[in-house]
């Protein structure tokens, strides 16, 4: 039995060694996608194109605008002269944010009253608009605090500046600088591995069927279970290599810290790879051509990505979609990766996710083997 399995494993590695393009696809695209997502995928917003309209022309209004220009969050691309210029800048998408300071702004501040700052945002990209509004609120609040302190000092001296204030002190855990890459880069380990391993497994068996070699192998003494093991073990090894490669790029290039136990990450990766191998095998039993396998991969992997929590919070999804996420192994693997990388948690916290991936792997493997037997008959 083991001799026949080893023979198939050796056959798969020989085919991989002969296929230069396959070796290229396993390494170069993975690194390129890692770098692309690592730099491009982020929730942080910088250099938002901004138009300003200062109708007050006072020292206070210029001081407020200087708070925005000093930040790397906003780039002033147009200094408007009228409300019509603001409307045109937003309509042409020359500016995503517009700041309007009305006349009397400084006078209200000097009287100790609230002075409005009008903010107009292009809501076409709602995510960018919401994040930009958050930055505007933070900068405006900082300006108001500094101005109130300075006004109190000028009116009542040093003693007047001693006013009761509630100061917000942020203490983010596990990611002190709120670096978006620390969130996205660990997640790329799961998403890239899912795509690569599922495609390898599905296409390998379908290709055997399409060229007619599957029937020749099945008339030999080898049994279906031995054939499946011999086919999937090489892809399991390749999957482990892919995980190690992406982890190395994430930790060495993007400087994402790893605070957990490497053995917990390895265990989670093994269970996740078993799940993805079983999924690829199941796809191969449902398809007779590589074109069908490609179409089915696209149909399955996209929902897996969307329903994993990689970029969209699961808690924000409708209840029905939240239920569907429980059959998605990527959902659990992302929790394991981010938990081990950033939080440093171990089996005591992550065992439900590990158990869920183990159950999914067993169910998919059993279903795949039964489907494979049936397809041979």
Only one residue has tokens 């029937």, namely 215
Look at 111-115, 256-260, 277-281, 324-328 and tell me which has the smallest mean pLDDT: 111-115
What is the DSSP secondary structure assignment for residue 340, as one 8-state letter? I
pLDDT at residue 196, rounded to an integer: 85
Beta carbons within 10 angstroms of residue 149's beta carbon: 15
Q: What angle do CA 291, 321, 354 make, to 5 degrees?
A: 85
* Residue 326 predicted with pLDDT over 90: yes
Instruction: For the chain, give every residue range classified as CATH 3.40.1710.10.
Output: 48-161
Residues in the chain: 377
The tens digit of pLDDT for each residue in 170-183 reads: 677 888 777 778 88
Q: What angle do CA 370, 375, 377 make, to 5 degrees?
A: 100
* Residue 227 predicted with pLDDT over 80: no
Q: Encoding tokens for residue 52? A: 């300003």
The tens digit of pLDDT for each residue in 188-203 reads: 888 888 888 888 888 7
Average pLDDT of the chain to the nearest whole number: 83
pTM over 0.85: no
Mind giving me the DSSP string for 335-348? HHHHIIIII---HH
Q: What is the mean pLDDT of residues 7-11?
A: 76
Selection from 30, 92, 101 nearest residue 63 by Cα? 101
pLDDT at residue 218, rounded to an integer: 64
> What does the alpha-carbon distance between residue 198 and residue 368 come to, in Å, rounded to a whole number?
13
* Residue 161 predicted with pLDDT over 80: no
Mind giving me the DSSP string for 313-329? -GGGS-HHHHHHGGG-H
> What does the alpha-carbon distance between residue 290 and residue 294 come to, in Å, rounded to a whole number?
6
Options 3.40.50.12780, 3.40.1710.10, 3.40.630.10, 2.60.120.340; which CATH number does 48-161 get?
3.40.1710.10
* Residue 98 predicted with pLDDT over 60: yes
More confident residue, 180 or 244: 244
Tell me how far the alpha carbon of residue 225 is from its chain's centroid.
Answer: 36
Look at 34-43, 163-172, 254-263 and tell me which has the smallest mean pLDDT: 163-172
pLDDT at residue 159, rounded to an integer: 47
| Residue 81, CA distances (Å) to 61, 76, 231 in order | 15, 14, 70
Only one residue has tokens 């695209």, namely 29
More confident residue, 225 or 251: 251
* Residue 160 predicted with pLDDT over 50: no
pLDDT at residue 286, rounded to an integer: 82
């Amino acid at each position: 039995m083991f001799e026949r399995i080893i023979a198939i494993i050796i056959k798969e590695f020989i085919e991989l060694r002969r296929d230069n393009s396959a070796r290229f696809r396993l390494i170069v695209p993975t690194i390129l996608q890692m770098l692309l997502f690592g730099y491009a995928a982020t929730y942080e917003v910088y250099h938002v194109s901004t138009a300003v309209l200062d109708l007050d022309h006072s020292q206070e209004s210029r001081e407020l605008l200087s708070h925005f220009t000093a930040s790397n969050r906003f780039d002033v691309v147009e200094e408007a002269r009228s409300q019509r210029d603001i409307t045109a800048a937003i309509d042409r998408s020359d500016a995503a944010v517009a700041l309007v300071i009305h006349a009397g702004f400084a006078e209200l501040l000097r009287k100790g009253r609230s002075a409005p700052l009008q903010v107009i945002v292009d809501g076409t990209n709602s995510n960018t608009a919401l994040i930009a509004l958050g930055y505007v609120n933070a900068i405006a609040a900082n300006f108001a605090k500094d101005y109130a302190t300075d006004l109190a000092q000028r009116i009542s001296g040093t003693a007047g500046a001693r006013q009761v204030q509630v100061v917000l002190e942020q203490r983010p855990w596990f990611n002190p600088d709120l670096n978006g890459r620390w969130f996205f880069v660990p997640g790329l380990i799961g998403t890239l591995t899912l795509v690569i391993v599922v495609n390898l497994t599905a296409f390998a068996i379908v290709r055997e069927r399409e060229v007619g070699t599957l029937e020749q192998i099945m008339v030999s003494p080898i049994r279906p279970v031995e054939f499946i093991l011999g086919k999937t073990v090489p892809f399991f090894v390749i999957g482990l290599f892919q995980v190690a490669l992406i982890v190395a790029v994430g930790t060495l290039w993007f400087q994402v810290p790893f605070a957990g136990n490497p053995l917990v990450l390895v265990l989670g990766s093994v269970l996740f790879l078993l799940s993805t191998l079983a999924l690829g095998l199941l796809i191969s039993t449902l398809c007779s051509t590589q074109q069908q396998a490609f179409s089915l991969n696209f149909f399955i992997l996209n929902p897996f990505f969307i329903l994993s929590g990689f970029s969209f919070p699961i808690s924000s999804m409708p209840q029905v979609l939240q239920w569907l996420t429980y059959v998605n192994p990527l959902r659990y693997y992302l929790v394991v990766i981010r938990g081990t990388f950033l939080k440093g948690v171990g089996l005591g916290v992550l065992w439900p996710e590990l158990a869920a991936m183990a159950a999914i792997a067993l169910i998919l493997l059993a279903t795949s083997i039964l489907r494979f037997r049936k397809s041979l008959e």
